[in-house]
Amino acid sequence: MRIKSMRAMSAAVRQAYRRGEEEETLEPLVLFDGEGSPVGRVGKGDSVVFYNIRGEREVELTRSLVENGFKEFPVVEGMGLHFVTMVEYQRGLPVEVAFPPAGVLTDTLSDVLSGQGLRQAKVTEAEKAAHITYFLNGKKGEPLPGEERVIVPTRKDVVLFDEAPEMSISRVSEAVVDKISDRACDIVFVNFPNVDVVGHIENEQAVIRAVEAVDAHTGRVVDKALRAGMQVIVTADHGTVERWLYPDGVVDTGHTDSPVPFILAGMDAGLTLRKEGELADVAPTVLEIMGIPCPSTMTGRSLIEAGGNLQTLRRRLLFIILDGWGINEDRTGNLIARAVTPVMDGLWARFPHSELKAAGEAVGLPEGTVGNSEVGHLHLGAGRRVYSDRSRIDRAIRDGSFFRNSAFLKAVTAAKRNGRSLHLMGIVSFFSSHGSVDHLMALMEMAKREGLEDVFVHAMLGRRGEQPESGANYVEMIEKKAEEIGVGRVVSVIGRYWSMDREENWDRVEKTYRMLIKGKGTPVYG
């Protein structure tokens, strides 16, 4: 692909669109020089900043680049990279962390249940394992005393889940039914991931099938729990497909700032709930239902209003999280409203319910920011507002401390001292929960201030919550920034499907690795 331009990579992405490629699965594009060699490959002794946040989708690629004895696919030994991650992806990785965790949360819902000697089970499929365990537990990786984790393998026989919108939901609900039948298990948490996962794919009929599968299996486990004398909570972590269209009619495959449902079934007659709340109010509500004192660190408020006779000491509870199920009164472009959902319609009509804020400041994000699964689960378990890594980083850019961050400066100093390059890699988006193009721009500006010339950008694309062809616009924005400040060049572009895996699909990660190290991809001459 011969494109003689300083903006060759954005032009190449636009050509890929014309070939029918989509951003999520975009095959690697690699910048080549006039002599036919790839430009800006990651080499031995180079410095790398992986500026993504969250982390659960970033671990595998990071491991391939820094882990001694890595065996999942062939790698170049002895790279000796000075590697920096924006936040901590996994404890023990041999990297510098620019914004270390403030510390794990204590007194989460799961902590309190464990401290009371209660048994809890966390059930989902692998696609959402980190959310219902690590994030719900306040960013603690290991199971708590009395906690069991049942993780159903995610199917690997499909490329994207619009081919199988039901995913592994039958096996997930079977596992939930087993735990309901186990009377020694006091509380069962389950995440049904389908609506969120399939909702990120532009396939309307597949999304409707996913919604209807979640509705049907919610009915199955709710019926089983009520027959077993359990109380039931049905809620969600954020919205997605209830607002499927932008105002101009273009499909929006991203998250939303919609409220989410909270339904309480199986309680005594006469109990009422506040009409509105936020995700941080859920944990205090659970503790009140179970007759357990709420720790002072939980600043959320129980959703239960006076008027009901609880008589609930230590009753068993089923806690259902419908991942991505938002509320939207407008039926226009509302795929939840278009789906046939007799179970959720019936639960909403029959039982006390509330609408919960699940975006923006209510979940520790900047005002106007959409919600996501990470902060959603974190707040469901924390019972208080927890301010996000994104907010911390944004504040650091505003107050200037970002440009003095010791981890970044060490990477720059190492590159200058050794005559090596600095590589900046990550998602290019304003709206992704995995990172912000603003953070990349700030890193480019920092390199400029520090007098570093050899700076290469490796961009990952994925249109979630973005307009069509937004990836090319972001790449061009980076190219314009590089022209403006005279530092940096976009040298690789790839779909996040290949870069940001969390299911040990090592063939995908290897494709990204070979692009970064070997320059394997479609050549773009610029």
Residue 465: its pLDDT value, please? 58
Residue 313: its pLDDT value, please? 47
Write down the H helix ranges in 486-505.
496-499
Residue 368: its pLDDT value, please? 85
pLDDT of 314 over the 60 cut:
no
Handedness of CA 211, 215, 216, 217 (dihedral sign): positive
C-alpha pair distances (Å), 196 with each of 73, 244, 253, 357: 30, 12, 9, 17
Average pLDDT over residues 55-76: 96
Average pLDDT over residues 182-207: 96
- Provide the token pair at 275: 């009409």
Tell me the backbone φ, ψ of residue 281, rounded to 5 degrees: -85, -10
Burial group, residue 69, by CB count within 10 angstroms (0-12, 13-18, 19+): exposed
Percent of the chain at pLDDT > 90 equals: 82
Three-state DSSP class for residue 389: helix
How many residues does this entry show for the chain?
526
pLDDT of 346-363, one tens digit each? 999 999 999 999 999 999
Strand 304-305 relative to strand 82-87: parallel, antiparallel, unpaired?
Answer: unpaired
d(CA 498, CA 21): 14
Residue 464: its pLDDT value, please? 64
Q: Could you give all domains of the chain from N- to C-terminal order, each with its CATH number?
A: 8-100+391-525 (3.40.1450.10), 109-385 (3.40.720.10)
Range scoring the smallest mean pLDDT among 247-256, 310-319, 456-465, 475-484: 310-319
pLDDT of 32 over the 60 cut:
yes
Residue 29: its pLDDT value, please? 98
pLDDT of 392-402, one tens digit each? 899 899 999 99
Residue 417: its pLDDT value, please? 94
Helix axes 169-181, 204-227, angle to 10 degrees: 10
Residue 1: its pLDDT value, please? 55
Across 31-35, 72-76, 242-246, the highest mean pLDDT is recorded for: 72-76
d(CA 67, CA 410): 20
d(CA 274, CA 292): 20
pLDDT of 463-502, one tens digit each? 665 677 888 999 999 999 999 999 999 999 999 999 999 8
Average pLDDT over residues 160-174: 95
Range scoring the smallest mean pLDDT among 261-275, 330-344, 346-360: 261-275
Question: pLDDT-derived band of residue 160, with 50, 70 and 90 as boundaries?
Answer: confident
| pTM greater than 0.75 | no
**Number of Cα atoms under 13 Å in the Cβ half of residue 414:** 20
Cα 456 off chain centre by: 26
CB contact burial 214-240 (16+ within 10 A = b; e otherwise)? bbbbbbbbbebbeeeebbbbbbbbbbb
Closest CA to 433 of 137, 120, 131: 131
Identify whether the C-beta of residue 124 lies closer than 8 Å to the C-beta of residue 154: no
